[in-house]
Amino acid sequence: MSDYLTIDSNDGVLTIGIMNDWLFPNVARLQAAIDPIPPGENSQVVFACHGLHDFDLAGAWVLYRKSLDLQEEGVETEFVGFKAAHFKFLQHVIDVAADSEAVPDYHEKLRRPNAVEQGIEQLGQVTTRGFESFGFISRSIVDGMKRPTKLVIGETIRQIHETGVKAIPIVMVVCFLMGIVLAYQSAGQLEKFGVTIYVVDLVSNSVFREIGVLLAAIMVAGRSGSAFAAALGTMKLNEEVDALQVMGLNPNQILIIPRVLGLVIAMPLLTVFADLAGLAGGAAISILALDISPVQFIERVAMSTRPMDMAVGFIKAPVFALLIAATGTLRGMEVQGSAEELGRLTTVAVVQSIFLIIIFDAFFTILFSRLGI
Amino acid sequence: MNQPPNSLQDIKGEQEAVSPKEHVIQVENLVNRFGAQVVHNNLCMNVRRDETLGLVGGSGAGKSVLLRSILGLHDFNSGSIRVLGKEIRYRKPGPYKHWGVLFQGGALLSGLTVRENVELPMVLHSNMSPELRHELAYLKIFMTGLNVEAADKYPSQLSGGMRKRASLARAMALDPKVLFLDEPTAGLDPIAATDFDNLLNYLQDNLDLTIVMVTHDLDSLFNVCERVAVLVDGGVVIDTLDKLVKNPHPWIQKYFGDKRAVIAREALGPGRLQPYKRRSE
């Protein structure tokens, strides 16, 4: 019949001989072997377990289940030659479970509000959460600014180093490449009009006003925004934040302020490097590919760039820094319970900060053009 | 409900194909060094089948390192370790279908519910039908004393004791022969700890389990363990508790002569605690 059982029908008694190992690894085969057996005309089924070699809970369950199924069909079952321990154990587990069992209300789970209800509810939640976040971070910053300790200064300097100084190489490389791309793309168009020299104007203006600070901010959001969220999130999971609290240290002051402050200081400085690298990229292409001499390039930059253009970039830098740091730290502080949550909120921190940066950039562009700057 | 025959209980003895003294875990000449610090110096240890072995030692005596070496999570310097006849090598799969591990913090996957956590090893190592898998998962969860409600919760929604139980259910998912427990009662209140000890005794009495547990909890050492391995001086002293208490080694004397150990021992009376009585009996 099979490796695990034999079937023998006699005088209205169906005897199922159980053999070999009824163990977890075979459990799928065991079930396939025993489940289809019909009781037929028999009023009694005997499980003869004399041939059973080894047996564990999974095997016991398969056997037990079959006997329950048969009983439901009105067939008597009996076990013979059985190592009873497992079975009694099984019975006990089920009894205890039945005692304490609170039947879960599946209907509750199945009832879902319709899409419109859900949409409205989510919109409301997003809005309130947005306001809550803004309130929380503002309060944390104000709270943290009160009576700053020496710790804050040291930590702020460390953050400037961590988020600013260490980001210089990557930001410069990215901006340099962007300068090359800008110069190259615009040269193709401007050459048609024979005004290749305006490539310099275009590169310097866009780098100072937009590209430098925007790229730096996006890189920092990816680098430090995620780091803030992950670091604070882990500290929350480890109860480090609670530990600071009970030691009488203000977590907002120790954790949030240095990061916000550090980034607000580091970001404009980083923008300087970003601008220089972007300009260098433009210069490289102008000099090497467009026959503009270095002297010409520098003269042109000096002519076309007003101090106001530089200021536009530098005004934006601390605002972007605030957005990144606030989003990162806030999401980090929101982490609760699990590592899953930590990963989710770190992603949210990066996506939201880049989104906010671009929204604010658009807002600044409109504002400055209205003001005629 | 069918009544399993009680009269046939004695058959269990006959079916014991292998001698009960068989060694399930064999550690031979294990050496673990961290720089100049030698943690294990030619450590030899055998764990017998179906016994409960406690593993104790001072901080830095290498309890965790030994456990991690046995589990293939630590790259030991030299020596050989066999579990259920399988040679253990660093980061190579061990007899993973036949052992279960309860990590100290539970180590339940936080993205899955308790039931999904218990089902995970079943999904990986078996092709049984989902229906049967759910049933077996619930069985294991009930077995550790959790209820239906807890089964559908995420680990972060559980209390410490429940998390340990859930983690035990996962460790038991594949009906393992060997169970490793790392500080199973750490962080539990005395009542929960005693419950957990009883649970371990109960499982051990009913299933053919070999249990190795690292513990600092003297109560649970006296309640659960048949033999105790004490890690001292880079080696190990294994004996029953009665004999260990008389061992002249100064650290062992200090450990078991400690006030708290004496209280735990006195609470227990002479010899080992009688096996946990099931509620139904």
Rounded to the nearest integer, the mean pLDDT of chain A is: 85
Q: Which of A66, A79, A2 is nearest to A33 (CA)?
A: A2
Q: Identify the three-state secondary structure at position A56.
A: coil
Q: Residue B5: how many CA atoms within 13 Å on its side-chain side?
A: 17
Contacts of B129 in chain A (CB under 8 A): 28, 31
CA distance B95 to B71: 9
Of A54, A77, A85, nearest to B2 by CB-CB distance is A77
pLDDT tens for residues B182-220? 988 887 888 888 888 888 888 888 788 899 999 888 888
Of A28, A93, A104, nearest to B148 by CB-CB distance is A104
Would you say B136 and A61 are in contact if contact means Cβ atoms under 8 Å apart? yes
CA distance A70 to A67: 5
Are residues B110 and A340, on separate chains, in Cβ contact within 8 Å?
Answer: yes
The two tokens of residue A217 are 């901010």
Which of B11, B201, B203, B204 is the mutation pick for testing A, counting most A CBs within 10 A? B11
Would you call A193 exposed, middle or buried from its count of C-beta atoms within 10 A (0-12, 13-18, 19+)?
Answer: exposed
Residue B271 predicted with pLDDT over 60: no
Are residues B17 and A104, on separate chains, in Cβ contact within 8 Å?
Answer: no
Of B129, B142, B154, nearest to A96 by CB-CB distance is B142
Check residue A256 and give its pLDDT. 87
CA distance A64 to A22: 12
Residues in chain B whose Cβ is within 8 Å of chain A: 1-2, 4-6, 8-9, 11-12, 15, 17, 97, 110-111, 125-129, 132, 135-136, 138-140, 142-143, 145, 147-149, 152, 154-157, 174-175, 206-208, 278-280
pLDDT tens for residues A253-270? 788 888 999 999 999 999
pLDDT tens for residues A124-138? 998 898 888 788 878
- Hey, how many other C-beta atoms are within 10 angstroms of the C-beta on A2? 13
CB pairs under 8 A between A and B: 129
The two tokens of residue B116 are 């999904």
Q: How far apart are the first and last CA of chain B?
A: 17
pLDDT tens for residues A147-203? 777 778 888 999 999 999 999 999 999 999 999 999 999 998 998 998 888 999 999
ipTM (interface predicted TM): 0.73
The two tokens of residue A321 are 């820094």
CA distance B200 to B189: 16
Are residues A58 and B136, on separate chains, in Cβ contact within 8 Å?
Answer: yes
pLDDT tens for residues A68-116? 888 888 888 887 776 666 666 777 777 766 665 444 444 444 556 678 8
What are the Cα distances from residue A343, in Å, to A244, A255, A357, B157, B184?
Answer: 23, 19, 21, 18, 28
Q: Identify the three-state secondary structure at position A13.
A: strand
